Structure 1
Amino acid sequence: MAYTSGGALDRLYLGFFLVHVLSTICVDLQPLLPDAFQLDLFKRLLDFYFNNTSDPLMLSARSQDPNYLWFRWFLLHEGLFFLPCFILGIRGLLKGTPSVYPLLLAYAAAASTTTATCFVVLLFGHHKVPLTSTQLTFLLSAYGPFFLIPAIMLVDMYYRIHRMIGFDSTKFKGKKKA
């Protein structure tokens, strides 16, 4: 049985990974770097983002608030695991290589879980700088694709791998373990 790629979904994932590589390097990893290693352009971009959104997660990462150490870990995880996944994912999807699917499944599970955590904190957390309804709406819509696309990818990659393996659970019904 020949396997065909996801077509439109693969193009969505490629675009998402390309955008995410840039946002990871230019925005998300900046609070982890010492000031001496930050480019002025990225500092200004981050300042603009902070001034317009009051994003409590990124502000806390920048200030190294110990209550948000978990979020700094999420950012480090993004740099050490997600960023290589983006690069390998781009390469694998462009080549049409099914061997990249397990990696994308692992990425999608981790990314959708970490972003869901961020949603909960944005919605229900106590923030040093209160968010206006406009800021909260903007933040939820900004974080949204970083949850939704990995969640779709999670289901998609699970089914792609499942079809490739060709697992048939009906073969095991009624059989007892030895």
Structure 2
Amino acid sequence: MPPTPLLHRKLDTLYLAFITIHLINMLCVDMVPLYPPAWTPKALLDLRAYYIKTYDDRYFTAPTAWFMFYTYIEVIYHLPFTIWAIPAILRDDPLVPLHLFIFALEVSLTTATCIADTLSWEDFPYNKKFDLMTLYGPYLVLSMIMGVDMFFRLSKILTPSNGKAKRS
């Protein structure tokens, strides 16, 4: 069966945009402190400084050990995944549902952790929490939609039309 054109796959188009934005965000903001200083363009340092000044995000001003672990997950898993996923979604690769399901679960869990922790910051003004939620919230919602969508796509593939699961 030939691949379905991307414009006929509305949710895949949304996921492609989400993953592309995520790749740019990782490379231009999240991972900047991990780059060798001599190789870090001033524009990236300025962009990260702007983000910190605008949102006062504690994960960027005083990152906890678990948040740094999440950053390394971005380096080890998200970066190679997104580099693979962008062209894979474009070509309608049959492995996309499996990989997007794993990605969606991981992003949902890590983003929900950040949201729960941020909401618990007692000495952080409500308006700043709200501003951070406008960034973290869509990540959580989109990753949850992706996870549910991929679960049903995989279920359809793994369950024969008679409703009985295949046994090996």
Letter paired with 2:146: M
The aligned residue for residue 58 of structure 1 is 60
Aligned mates of 2:158, 2:15 — CA distance in 1: 22
The size of the alignment, in residue pairs, is 163
Structure 2 alignment gaps of length 5 or more = none
The aligned residue for residue 35 of structure 2 is 33
Letter paired with 1:133: Y
The aligned residue for residue 92 of structure 1 is 88
| Structural mapping, 1:1-178, within 5 Å | 7-61=9-63, 68-125=64-121, 130-167=123-160, 171=164
Letter paired with 1:161: L
Aligned mates of 2:2, 2:27 — CA distance in 1: 37
CA offsets per residue over residues 10-66 of structure 1, 9 Å max, x none? 0100111111111010001113334333221111111111112110111123xxxxx
Q: Which has the larger radius of gyration?
A: 1
Aligned mates of 1:58, 1:98 — CA distance in 2: 37
Aligned to 1:76, what secondary structure does the other structure show? helix
Letter paired with 2:57: D
Letter paired with 2:117: V
Structure 1 alignment gaps of length 5 or more = 62-67, 173-178
Aligned to 1:98, what secondary structure does the other structure show? coil
RMSD: 2.3
Letter paired with 2:153: R
Contact persistence 1:112–1:150 (CA under 8 A): yes
Misfit runs of 4+, over 6 Å: 1-6
Contact persistence 2:3–2:91 (CA under 8 A): no
TM-score, normalization by structure 1 = 0.82
Task: State, as a whole percentage, how many aligned pairs show the same letter.
Answer: 30
Give, in angstroms, the shift of residue 2 of structure 1: 10
Contact persistence 1:29–1:79 (CA under 8 A): yes
